[in-house]
Amino acid sequence: MTRTRAEQREATRRALVAVGRRLFAGRGYAAVGLAEIVREAGVTKGALYHHFDGKAALFRAVLEEVQQEMGARVAAEADAEGDPWEQLKAGCAAFVRAAADPDVQRIMLIDGPAVLGWNEWRAIDEATSARHLGEALAALAEAGTIAPHPVAPLTRLLSGAMNEAVLWLAQPQARPGDLDDTLAALSRLLDGLKVRT
């Protein structure tokens, strides 16, 4: 079956993102060159530049894909719970587990801010993870499950704590039980927010 030009363009874009993701995750952004990406994707540099302004734009597409997958995974695990409080806890734990993957850490938390700059990286994070966390906290505050203080600072504190925990888990000296310890500490931290009735 012959593909249309639009289908060919989309297949080329998908191939570039897939190869870029694999290489960026495996060796880091700085260690990967455009020539290697186009060679492994089986396309020309012209094809790459048709879709992306350069390596940083390709990386941004990879990061957005990783963020969307993370968001979907977190939402799925949270939605599996019936109670909004348990949804928050399940979603936060899902984020830490998913972000503990070395490929995700490299792309999302290590190279993301370095390649795109803090402001652009933050905007992508705000549009995905932080927005969902803020919405969940706002609903819990409105329901009286957590204290009705401003949600924006709490969102940033929790988001920062989870990101920092995942970066800590990425360190070479991390031990096999550190993820479980981190999840237990996160659960205790969240439980401290709940209004006692």
Question: What confidence score (pLDDT) does residue 5 get?
Answer: 85
Full-model pTM = 0.88
The 10s digit of each residue's pLDDT in 158-177 is: 999 999 999 899 888 888 89
Residue pair 28/62 in contact (Cβ under 8 Å)? The answer is no
- Residue 20 has a pLDDT of 97
pLDDT at residue 52 greater than cutoff 90: yes
* Number of Cα atoms under 13 Å in the Cβ half of residue 21: 17
3-class secondary structure, 176: coil
Mean pLDDT within 138-154: 93
CA of 80: how far to CAs of 74, 115, 132, 144, in Å? 10, 35, 16, 22
**According to the model, what pLDDT value does residue 13 have?**
95
* Percent of the chain residues past pLDDT 70, beyond the cut: 99
CATH number of 5-191: 1.10.357.10
Residue 148 is predicted with a pLDDT of: 87
> Max Cα separation, the chain?
65
pLDDT tens string 17-43 = 999 999 999 999 999 999 999 999 999
Residue 1 confidence (pLDDT): 60
Q: Is 80 exceeded by the pLDDT of residue 3?
A: no
Q: What is d(CA 131, CA 125) in angstroms, rounded to the nearest whole number?
A: 8
Place of tokens 């096999």: 176
